[in-house]
Amino acid sequence: MFVKLCGLRTESDVAVAVEAGADAVGFVLTSSPRRIEVDLAARLVAQVPAGVLTVAVVRGVTAAEGGELALKTGVRALQLHGDYPREAFDELAGMPFGLVRATALGPATDVRTGAFGESWLLIDSPVAGSGEQWDITRLAENPPTGEWLLAGGLSPETVAGAISVARPWGVDVSSGIESSRGVKDHGRMRAFVAAARE
C-alpha cells in the first residue's frame, strides 16, 4: 500500500514521515492552514531521501504558476488539486516532474488514472483538507483504475476499513494525522502508516 503523508511543515515532520516508511510526502504551497513558503519547502525537499516521492500541492493557481512553484522547490511531482481541466495538464507535459490529478468524485469525473496525462490520480472528499469523511462506497459504481490514491477523512482509526472498502492503490492523509489544524502529530503519523500497511 502506497502511503502519502501531506501538509508537512517542519524538519521533524519530514524526518518522522521518512522513518515511519511513507512512500510520499506532500508540501502545500498555496492558500491553506498547512501552507509553507517556497524557500522552506525547498529546504525540506532537500532532506527527503531519493526513495520517497516529494510532492508540491497547489490549488486555486494556474497550471503555469503551479509548475513554477514545483521547479523552485525541486519536488518530483506536482499535485493540481481541484477542478483543473485537461489543458492544465497538457500545459505541464514534458516538465521534469510527475503530475497528480486530485479531484472530488462527481457524476462526470473521469476516474481512469492517466486520462489527463497524469501519473497518479487522487480521489478526495468534496471539501479538501477538511478531514470530513465522505461516502467512499460510491467508488464501487465507478471504480478508479491505475495508480490512484484515496483521500478525505482518513485517520489511523479509519484507514484500514477504508482500504478494504475502496481497494485503492494508495492512501493520502493530512488532517487525520494532526493534533490541531496544520500541526502534525508524530505519533499519529507513525500509526497511520502502520495501520495502512496492516
Tens digit of pLDDT for each residue in 59-69? 999 999 999 99
> What percentage of the chain carries pLDDT values higher than 90?
86
On average, the pLDDT of the chain sits at 94
165-197: b (≥16 Cβ within 10 Å) or e: ebebbbbbbbbbbbeeebebbbebbbbbbebbe
Element (H, E) at 191: helix 186-197
The answer to whether residues 71 and 50 touch, using CB atoms and an 8 Å cutoff, is no
d(CA 83, CA 191): 32
| Tens-place pLDDT, residues 136-162 | 888 888 899 999 999 999 999 999 999
Helix, strand and coil in the chain, % to nearest 5: 35, 25, 45
Closest CA to 97 of 27, 165, 34, 13: 27
Count of residues in the chain: 198
d(CA 90, CA 4): 25
d(CA 146, CA 186): 30
| Tens-place pLDDT, residues 3-35 | 999 999 999 999 999 999 999 999 999 989 999
Query: 171 φ, ψ to 5°?
Result: -130, 155
The four Cα atoms 69, 75, 78, 79 give a dihedral, to 10 degrees, of -110
d(CA 162, CA 111): 18
pTM higher than 0.75, yes or no? yes
